[in-house]
Amino acid sequence: MSSREIAKLTGKRHTNVIRDIRTMLTGLKSEPRDFVGSYTDSTCRQLPCFNLPKRETLILVSGYSVELRARIIDRWMELEEQQAKTQVATITATEVSTMMAKYMAEMQETSSHKSCE
């Protein structure tokens, strides 16, 4: 989850979320560069942001109020649900392709047997 999305969901200023993330990463002895990203603002400037995995997001917001933690947790659940739906759709498409290939092979085999008769 991006630091910008965390700021939006919690109603905090992005600069304050960035500060909190840096403090958290220092405490975890993690490298900020492992999570750093950037975005283009409305004036076309490239500005820093962080992209945190679920664990670091939850650690960060554990110091926030219950209401803010709930918003973040709800959003993570939405993201995971979206990912699960995407995976199911991909599997289904793959299965359909496999079934079609088998069907086409069977049809080809059937037609070649008929031409031999």
Query: pLDDT tens track of the chain, all 117 residues?
Result: 999 999 999 999 999 999 999 999 999 999 999 999 999 999 999 999 999 999 999 999 888 887 888 888 899 999 999 888 877 666 677 777 777 777 777 777 766 555 555
Q: What is the pLDDT of residue 62?
A: 86
Q: How far apart are CA 40 and CA 46, in angstroms?
A: 5
Fill in the amino acid letter for 7.
A
Residue 6 neighbours by CB distance under 10 Å? 26
Q: How far apart are CA 87 and CA 72, in angstroms?
A: 23
Q: How far apart are CA 55 and CA 53, in angstroms?
A: 6
pTM higher than 0.85:
no
Structure tokens belonging to residue 33: 């560069």
Contact 50, 34 (CB under 8 A): no
Compute the Cα dihedral for 56, 52, 67, 80 and give only its sign: negative
Q: How far apart are CA 80 and CA 84, in angstroms?
A: 6
Q: What percent of the chain has pLDDT over 90?
A: 52
